Amino acid sequence: MSPYPMDAKPTYSRLRAGFLENAKKHKAQVRHFKHPLKGMDGEELYTDIAVWAKPETKKWLVVISGTHGVEGYYGSMCQTQYMDSLAALAQDGRVGVLMVHLINPWGTSWKRRVNEDNIDLNRNYLDFAQPLPQNRYYEALHPLFVKEAATGAARQKSNEQWAEKSKEIGHTALMNQLGAGQYLHQDGLYFGGFKPSWSNATLRAIMGEFLADCTDAICLDLHTGAGAYGHPMLMAIAEREYPGIRDAQRIYGAWLYTVLTGASQTTDTGISAAATGYTSQAMVDLMTGKRFCQLVIECGTYDGEKVGHDALLNDHFLHLCGNLQGKEFEQTKDKLLEFFFPSDQDWRELVWVRTRQIFDRALADLFER
Ligand SMILES: [Zn+2]
């Protein structure tokens, strides 16, 4: 059974309406952060938050969806559905819940991983006053992704070069080089930005307002697209070990994935360990001095090598060339949504059940402290 009534082809507006409706039903405090641009259907865009807490609440569960816009369809589904079990908690007030709904609303509306500036938000949480990371591997790959390589024989050649490279060093190693991020080419892949994005500033403002004086918190950032089909991996992603990782292992068990990131790091989880600028690290830094644990739930869908890369590349070229309507555009968007949010009801039920368990355990632990 579907965990929550979802359309076969959901839209940003449907997600938003469902989230706000259920938040109202369950008496959450809601706030709306208006995005400067419009969505794919000309709709206004917002990051919304729903809060269940009392003024004296010091312990918090935070759930963020849509860091990678199109992955927010899964995140929103779980956030909205989970509200149904929060009624008693709101009365109690010892533990608060903050749901940050679609932190990259432009990306969710346009069914893209990136934001309005072609930024991968999980490369954007850096100190831009400092020298930015260099990625010499990306420099060699960039010509495969520029406008001139978008169509026809040039695209064919670009595909062949990619396949050759993948054969040479292996797909995982190649994706690690590519996914490490880059800060020079706004028209490229895994671009980290020239400055903090709207979503980055908005998340910091939300955290500053609600969690500045908290003592304990667990934050879950919801993603899809890496790992085995229907299997939500739970991961701690950080530049270095911090005490919250031990808390997470105690709560969830030794199987919890810990991905330490850095220029020379690798992982076979399907995410990039060589990247910097993760939301996760920014949250850990923001919460310094508190008992805090930052986790990512990453739900596997289809084969990234066979399906995901091609769909993402098609989407990249369509936006790069400004081809934002017509059959090819629609088909590409359908494929991307299917890759990041499979329409298979069994997939949706599987990821919801496991995500709910992860939420439940986090809340139970916060109550017991
Ligand atoms: Zn993601």
Cα→Cα distances 191→125, 168, 259, 271, 298, Å: 12, 24, 21, 15, 21
Q: pLDDT digits over 215-251, tens only?
A: 999 999 999 999 999 999 999 999 889 999 999 999 9
Domain 12-127+194-301+341-368: which CATH number of 3.40.630.10, 3.40.50.360, 3.40.50.300, 3.50.30.50: 3.40.630.10
Q: How far is the CA of 54 from the centre of ligand 1 (A)?
A: 32
Q: pLDDT digits over 134-180, tens only?
A: 999 999 999 999 999 999 999 999 999 999 999 999 998 999 899 99
Question: Which pLDDT band holds residue 262 (cuts at 50, 70, 90)?
Answer: confident
Q: Residues near 165 by Cβ (< 8 Å), separated by ≥ 6?
A: 141, 174
What's the CA gap between 358 and 234, in Å, rounded? 8
DSSP state at residue 134: P
pLDDT at 270 > cutoff 90 = no
Q: How far is the CA of 67 from the centre of ligand 1 (A)?
A: 7
Q: Tell me the pairing of strands 216-229 and 291-300.
A: parallel
Q: How far is the CA of 24 from the centre of ligand 1 (A)?
A: 28
What's the confidence (pLDDT) of residue 304?
87
Q: How far is the CA of 332 from the centre of ligand 1 (A)?
A: 18
pLDDT at 279 > cutoff 60 = yes
Q: Are 100 and 47 in contact (CB under 8 A)?
A: yes
Q: How far is the CA of 259 from the centre of ligand 1 (A)?
A: 14
Count of positions (residues) in the chain:
369
To 10 degrees, the CA torsion angle through 129, 295, 107, 98?
-100
- CA-nearest of 3, 42, 82 to 346 is 3
The strand order across the sheet containing 44-52 reads: 29-38, 44-52, 95-101, 59-65, 216-229, 291-300, 232-238, 257-260
Tokens 């369809």 map to which residue?
A: 73
What's the confidence (pLDDT) of residue 325?
95
Q: pLDDT digits over 288-301, tens only?
A: 999 999 999 999 99
Q: Are 173 and 98 in contact (CB under 8 A)?
A: no
pLDDT at 254 > cutoff 90 = no
What's the CA gap between 145 and 318, in Å, rounded? 11
Q: How far is the CA of 352 from the centre of ligand 1 (A)?
A: 17
Q: How far is the CA of 152 from the centre of ligand 1 (A)?
A: 30
Instruction: State mean pLDDT over 51-76.
Output: 97
Q: What percent of the chain has pLDDT over 70?
A: 98
What's the confidence (pLDDT) of residue 92?
87
Q: How far is the CA of 39 from the centre of ligand 1 (A)?
A: 20
Q: pLDDT digits over 90-139, tens only?
A: 778 999 999 999 999 999 999 999 999 999 999 999 999 999 999 999 99
What's the CA gap between 147 and 50, in Å, rounded? 41
Q: How far is the CA of 273 from the centre of ligand 1 (A)?
A: 13
Q: How far is the CA of 113 from the centre of ligand 1 (A)?
A: 7
| Range scoring the smallest mean pLDDT among 3-12, 31-40, 303-312, 313-322 | 3-12
Instruction: State mean pLDDT over 254-269.
Output: 84
Q: Residues near 93 by Cβ (< 8 Å), separated by ≥ 6?
A: 53, 54, 56, 57
Instruction: State mean pLDDT over 186-202.
Output: 98
Residue span(s) of the chain under CATH 3.40.630.10 come to 12-127+194-301+341-368
Q: How far is the CA of 336 from the centre of ligand 1 (A)?
A: 13
Question: Which pLDDT band holds residue 265 (cuts at 50, 70, 90)?
Answer: confident
3-state helix, strand, coil in the chain (%, to 5): 45, 20, 35
Q: Ramachandran region of residue 65, left (φ > 0), alpha (ψ -120 to 50) or beta? A: beta
What is the average pLDDT score of the chain? Answer: 94
What's the confidence (pLDDT) of residue 1?
43
Q: What percent of the chain has pLDDT over 90?
A: 84
pLDDT at 3 > cutoff 60 = no
Q: What are 177's two structure tokens?
A: 């080089």
Q: How far is the CA of 55 from the centre of ligand 1 (A)?
A: 33
Q: Which helix (H) or strand (E) holds 82?
A: helix 72-82
Question: Which pLDDT band holds residue 359 (cuts at 50, 70, 90)?
Answer: very high
What's the confidence (pLDDT) of residue 2?
47
